Amino acid sequence: MILTNTTNYFAELVSYLSEQMGLGGQILAYVIVAAIYLGFFAVAGLLLVYIERRVAAFFQLRLGPNRVGPWGLLQTIADALKLLSKEIFGTNRKDKLLYNTAYYLVIIASLVALSVIPFSIGVQAYDLNIGVFFISAVSSVGVLGIIFGGWGSNNKYSLIGGMRSGLQMISYELSSGLAILTIILMAGTLQMSGIIEAQRDGFFIWRGHIPALIAFFVFVIAGTAESNRTPFDLAEGEAELGAGYHSEYSGMGFAFFFLAEFINMFIISAIAVTLFFGGWLAPFHLTDGLAYQPLWGAIWFFLKVSVMIFLLMWFRWTFPRLRIDQLLTLEWKYLLPIGLINIVLMAILVYFNLVF
């Protein structure tokens, strides 16, 4: 696959500072890139919490946050300051190593997954040739953080929540993986930027006929389940588990789990946009040929991701929570067989060159 643009601005920064300052410049460049991603992580998390509250208020005919700052924009910042100032405490019977490692694993998994997502043309920390596989592998590490939190808390409700999360995420990874493979058959590459470039003549959601549409719906459902969001939030299950796997966490420990959930929602939306809707490519070539292509690409990317995030929030405030047997029935009896049949159909279309 020949890419039309191979410039990576983060790689250029690392190369430039390395040439100017040697090893120290290279380290400085990596610190700058890490700081950019950490800043985006924090800002995106706070913004998504605010948007979630607004969307929930809209669906429930409430006002939502409207007191702290203009239109309530500073409410999430006030909440973050409150969590920072809270005392961090937990049960004395906890496993300190697992308990204190859990939320770091969840945060690190989300941050590393963000690093290979192309936000625009050339705006990507690492453009790996196995980008899609890398994200799938890294996202599995987040499961360990939740299981560690449930087990390390030495609380029966936390343990049940952790076990539920592990069972749920391992199960639904199969369906999301099959949906991703369906699109990879069309793209012919695992590289995220390559998948986007393959959609210059049309997004895969349209070119892939019915199999691509089915893969999209399967991926959205499985992605919602993997992020532990309603109606698949059995790992938290307030009605029967209190708060599930993070029952024994307070202060910033709880905040990290809370923040990671919203960033994972962004990552799922970004992957869906990249695989099915052309990533940062403009529909119908609307902005092709205009100056500042990285800026236009970022605008289109975040517009598409915003629509996907709204869709996931719509799910949360529309459907009731499933029981654990219903959750597993949906995966093993419906989504998995549909995904297997769907990937065979896509393979037939690709083999006989029937895709657009």
Q: Tokens representing 70?
A: 């203009």
Q: Is residue 99 within 8 Å of residue 90, measured between CB atoms?
A: yes
Sign of the dihedral through C-alpha 295, 299, 304, 308: positive
pLDDT at 241: 65
Our count of domains for the chain comes to 2
Q: Which H, E and C letters describe 259-328, residue by residue?
A: HHHHHHHHHHHHHHHHHHCCCCCCHHHCCCCCCCHHHHHHHHHHHHHHHHHHHHHHHHCCCCCCCHHHHH
* β-sheet bridge partners, residue 120: 123
- Considering the domain architecture, whether residues 339 and 320 belong to the same structural domain is answered as yes
Question: Tokens 């004395």 sit at which residue?
Answer: 92
User: What is the chain's Cα-based Rg?
Assistant: 21
**Cα(311)–Cα(271) distance, integer angstroms:** 14
Residue 120: strand, helix, or coil: strand
Q: Is the domain of 43 the same as that of 110?
A: no
Token pair of 75 as six digits: 């409410």
Query: Which residue, 35, 62, 85, sits at the end of a domain?
Result: 85
Which tokens belong to 136?
């799938």
Same structural domain, 164 and 117: yes
352 Cβ contact partners less than 8 Å away, ≥ 6 residues apart: none
Q: How many residues does the chain have?
A: 356
Mutual orientation of helices 156-187 and 336-351 as an angle, nearest 10°? 10
Instruction: Tell me the pLDDT tens digit for each residue of 240-281.
Output: 666 677 778 877 888 888 888 899 999 999 999 999 999 999
Does residue 210 form part of some domain?
yes
User: What are the tens digits of pLDDT across the range 6-19?
Assistant: 578 888 888 888 88
* Residues 302 and 192 grouped into a single domain: yes
Instruction: Give pLDDT, residue 184.
Output: 94
Rounded to a whole number, what is the distance in angstroms from the first to the last CA of the chain? 18
What's the pLDDT at 239? 63
Alpha carbon 195 to chain centroid distance? 18
Q: Identify the domain containing residue 334 by its residue range.
A: 90-351
- Residue 23 sits in the same domain as residue 124: no
52, 184: one domain:
no
| Pick from 226, 117, 221: nearest CA to 179 | 221
19 and 158 in a common domain: no
Domain assignment present for residue 1? The answer is: no
**Residues 48 and 114 occupy one common structural domain:** no
Which tokens sit at 193?
A: 């930027």
- Angle at which helices 293-316 and 251-276 cross, to 10°: 110
C-alpha distances out from residue 340 to 15, 146, 331, Å: 44, 29, 12
**51 and 105 assigned to the same domain:** no
Out of 85, 115, 130, a domain closes at 85
* Position 2 in a domain: no
Q: Enumerate residue ranges in the chain where pLDDT < 50.
A: 1-5
Domain boundary among 44, 69, 85: 85
**Shared domain check, 53 and 161:** no
List alpha helices for the chain, DSSP H. Answer: 9-21, 23-59, 75-85, 96-114, 131-152, 156-187, 192-197, 204-207, 209-226, 238-241, 251-276, 293-316, 324-329, 336-351
Residue 227 and residue 100 share a domain: yes
- 114: which 2 tokens? 């963000």
pLDDT at 256: 86
Q: Is the residue at 187 inside a domain?
A: yes
Residue 12 — φ and ψ, nearest 5°?
-65, -40
Judge if 316 and 195 occupy the same domain: yes
